[in-house]
Amino acid sequence: MKITIVGGGIAGLSFALNLHARGIDCEVYEAVSEVKEIGVGITLLPHATAELNKLGVLGQLEPLGIENLESVFFNRYGQFVYKELRGRHAGYNTPELGIHRGRLHKVLYEAALQRLGPSKIHTGYRCTGFTQTQGANSGVELQMELADGTHQKVSASVVVACDGVNSAVRRQLFPNDQVAFAGINTWRGVSVHKPILSGKSYVRIGSIETGKMVIYPIIDNVDGKGNQLINWVAEIQEDHKAMNDWNKPGKLEDFLPTFDKWRYDWLDVAELISTADHILEYPMVDKNPLPQWTFGTVTLMGDAAHPMYPRGSNGSAQAIIDARTLADCLKDAFNAGGAGTESATQALMDYESKRLETTGKVVTTNRSLPPDAIIMKADELSKGQPFESIDDLISQEELRQISENYKKIAGFALTPNS
Does 215 score more than 90 pLDDT? yes
How would you label 201-235 residue by residue, b for 16+ Cβ within 10 Å and e otherwise? bbbbbbbbebbbbbbbbbbbebeeeebbbbbbbbb
Does 1 score more than 90 pLDDT? no
Q: In sequence order, what are the residues at sequence separation of 6 or more whose Cβ sits closer than 8 angstroms to the Cβ of residue 172?
A: 129, 130
- pLDDT confidence band for 255 (50 / 70 / 90): very high
| AA letter at 105 | H
The pLDDT of 92-102, averaged and rounded, is 95
The CA distance from 51 to 225, in Å, is 34
Domain regions of the chain by residue span: 3-68+98-178+288-368, 182-286+375-395
Q: Give φ, ψ of 132 to 5 degrees.
A: -130, 135
Q: Answer yes or no: pTM beyond 0.85.
A: yes
pLDDT digits (tens, 9 = 90+) for 124-164: 999 999 999 876 567 899 999 999 999 999 999 999 999 99
Looking at domain 182-286+375-395, does it have CATH number 3.30.9.30? yes
How far is the first Cα of the chain from the last one, in angstroms, to the nearest whole number? 34
Residue 310's pLDDT is: 84
Return the beta strands (E) in 208-357 as ranges.
Answer: 211-219, 228-237, 279-286, 298-300
pLDDT digits (tens, 9 = 90+) for 193-208: 999 999 999 999 999 8
pLDDT digits (tens, 9 = 90+) for 77-89: 999 999 999 999 9
Q: Do domains 3-68+98-178+288-368 and 182-286+375-395 have the same CATH topology?
A: no
We find that the CATH architecture of domain 3-68+98-178+288-368 is 3-Layer(bba) Sandwich (3.50)
For 5-84, where are the alpha helices, taking DSSP H only? 10-21, 46-54, 58-61
Does 29 score more than 90 pLDDT? yes
pLDDT digits (tens, 9 = 90+) for 291-327: 999 999 999 999 999 999 888 778 899 999 999 999 9
Residue 322's pLDDT is: 98
pLDDT digits (tens, 9 = 90+) for 343-372: 999 999 999 999 999 999 999 988 887 888
Does 93 score more than 90 pLDDT? yes
